[in-house]
Structure 1
Amino acid sequence: MQAIRLATIRDIDTLTELLDGYRQFYQQPSDLQAAHDFLRQRMGLGDAFILVSENSEGALTGFVQLYPGVSTVGLNARWTLNDLFVLPECRDKGTGRALMEAATQLARDHGVARLILMTQVDNERAQHLYESLGWQRNTAFYGYLLDIK
């Protein structure tokens, strides 16, 4: 059984390892120091909500990260669910689903009108989870990226 809660600064070391694992899943090189600095900055600025899953022994098994934003067209709050990661050995046990449901409830509690996310085209496992939770694939807009270096 997992419990879901907001991350605290006391979680930063374990959360750093989870974030590094998430980045490696997306073919990024391991960089624990950069992951640690990134999380410390998020927590320091308070510009993201990070929920963590904890097993019955209190070990962190996954996280979801949300970034608040707004919509000019909708004149409302829209949050980006940017990251979802569950340790490989904890997958298929409901952890990802519990994190997603907790993220939805947190947004609802904050009066957020819409959650948005993107996932890789070939990440069918994640797509199945999202769709099973009622998320709908966006067919009205194209996504574009611009790297600024």
Structure 2
Amino acid sequence: MTTTTRPAQAADLPAIARLFDLYRQFYEQVADAQRAADFIRQRLERNESVILVAEDASGALVGFCQLYPSFCSVEARPIGVLYDLFVLHEARGQGAGRQLLLAAEARATADGLARLDLTTARTNTTAQRLYESLGWARDTVFLAYSRRLPAH
């Protein structure tokens, strides 16, 4: 299968929302098509993230990645957080994930970012092999922590 990558467009919203809902399910969230569509619509309308898509030869979207802007205080430079990367199960192993990662790197470089950061589940060894094959380095210095906040 031949895939190409490009920045998302407003017309892609339904397809990206479907992929995003499947991505959330991969991370053990309950399916919620409306929540997925609302979330992606807000990111696009507010220009709060960069969404790149992978499409097959027929033009169907088979994957996406989403970059959020952030900053590194130590480097005093902007960075990107590659929070979401997802490829449909039937399209995996055909290069779409690799293409999305390379497109994200090219976009981040063009935008003048110092680096890209990502996290993945410890059990997602397939993704880890892909990241490492492209030169991503596992952090062995810092520990990541998070704290859930009360809903309002």
Give the structure-2-normalised TM-score.
0.97
Match of 2:121 in 1: 120
| SS of 1:135 mapped into structure 2 | coil
Offset of 1:132 from its aligned partner? 0.3
Q: Per-residue CA shift, 1:83-111, capped at 9, x if unaligned? A: 10000000000000000000000000011
Structure 2: runs of 5 or more not aligned: none
Match of 2:38 in 1: 37
Q: Supply the distance in 2 between the matched residues of 1:107 and 1:73 (Cα, whole angstroms).
A: 18
Match of 1:48 in 2: 49
Alignment of 1:1-149 (within 5 A): 1-149=2-150
| SS of 1:11 mapped into structure 2 | helix
Give the structure-1-normalised TM-score.
0.99
Identical amino acids, percent of aligned pairs: 46
| SS of 2:31 mapped into structure 1 | coil
Root mean square deviation of aligned Cα = 0.5
Q: Supply the distance in 2 between the matched residues of 1:13 and 1:120 (Cα, whole angstroms).
A: 26
Structure 1: runs of 5 or more not aligned: none
Offset of 1:142 from its aligned partner? 0.4
The aligned amino acid for 1:124 is T
Q: Per-residue CA shift, 1:16-57, capped at 9, x if unaligned? A: 110000000001000000000001110111010000001110
Offset of 1:73 from its aligned partner? 1.1
| SS of 2:140 mapped into structure 1 | coil
